[in-house]
Chains A and B, each alone.
Chain A
Amino acid sequence: MKAILLFSINRVFDGKKGESFRLFMDLYKVPSASSDVFDLTLYKLSWIFFNSEEPDRRVLMDNHKPIGLHLHINQGPQIPVTAMTIEEAKKIFVENIKKHFDFDLEV
């Protein structure tokens, strides 16, 4: 069965130093456990946070086949990450945004 889009947003936020940042988040619900999911949470995600003026400066997280959950920092290679739930995946995404952009998504 086809994944169903559950959540989709496109945002722009102010940074601390006069810059602005973009956030795209797509989250799909996968109806069957046998589908291409990265874990038992049955979700397929595509999240990206980047500098508005320099889109190549980014934190990207997704879990497409066959790699599973992974990050890309800027134009770097895939960095595999482990999360068993969507909350854990979100935490890793938020932490990397803090680390690379000094931006807190939780405020």
Chain B
Amino acid sequence: MKTFTFIYDPEATPKNTLALMKKAIKTGMPYIEKNQLRSPSLKALISLATENRLEIFKKILNDKPSSIYELAQSLGKDLSYVSKEVRVLESTGIIALKKAEHLGRDKIQPVALYDRIVFDFDMALKKAANHF
């Protein structure tokens, strides 16, 4: 099972992110966040991982549509809307858009790269607990 995690991390500010890079360069010690998307803003995380987008992701994972058109058809939604949402899912890194041939025609096939999506708020809770 391959898992992608959306992580709420109040420390993951832009400034701290650049500081982490500087430290990695200075020390030579790798700092690598893989299979995750981290944010200091719960609002930003939620606005990205909307219910509709997760529903589209689930459809891609389970039904393996051969094209965005087929995906839009199975969702009963407008093609331009689904195309836009699929592009956002791709930029998030949880799906890939692969060029595929179907019945002799070139198509773009959305492919799920993960089979489990997790929301992790543990770090925030630990930090909040430290204040008490």
- A residues adjacent to B (C-beta < 8 A): 4-14, 20, 22-23, 25, 27, 29, 43, 50, 52-53, 55, 86, 90, 94, 103-107
Contacts and interface: CB of A to CB of B under 8 A. Distances in A.
A92 to B, nearest CB: 13
A50 B18 CA distance: 17
A18 to B, nearest CB: 9
Interface in B74-100: 87-88, 90-93
Contacts of B48: 12, 20, 52
A9 B88 CA distance: 18
Given A7-B20, A7-B21, 12 more contacts: A9-B17, A10-B33, A10-B37, A11-B17, A11-B38, A12-B38, A13-B40, A27-B25, A52-B48, A55-B87, A94-B18, A106-B14
Contact of A13 (B31, B41, B87, B91): B41
B33 A9 contact: yes
B25 A20 contact: no
B33 to A, nearest CB: 5
A11 B32 contact: no
B118 to A, nearest CB: 15
A1 B21 CA distance: 22
A10 B9 CA distance: 12
Q: Which of B25, B31, B41, B87 has the most CB of A within 10 A?
A: B25
A12 B92 CA distance: 9
A10 B36 contact: yes
B24 interface: yes
- Is chain A's binding surface mostly helix, strand, loop or mixed? strand
B15 to A, nearest CB: 6
A20 B39 CA distance: 11
Given A4-B30, A86-B25, A9 B20 contact: yes
Interface string B53-91: 000000000000000000000000000000000011011
Q: Which of B17, B34, B44 has the most CB of A within 10 A?
A: B44
Contact of B88 (A13, A25, A53, A105): A53
Contacts of A55: 87-88, 90-91
Contacts of A6: 24-25, 28, 30-31
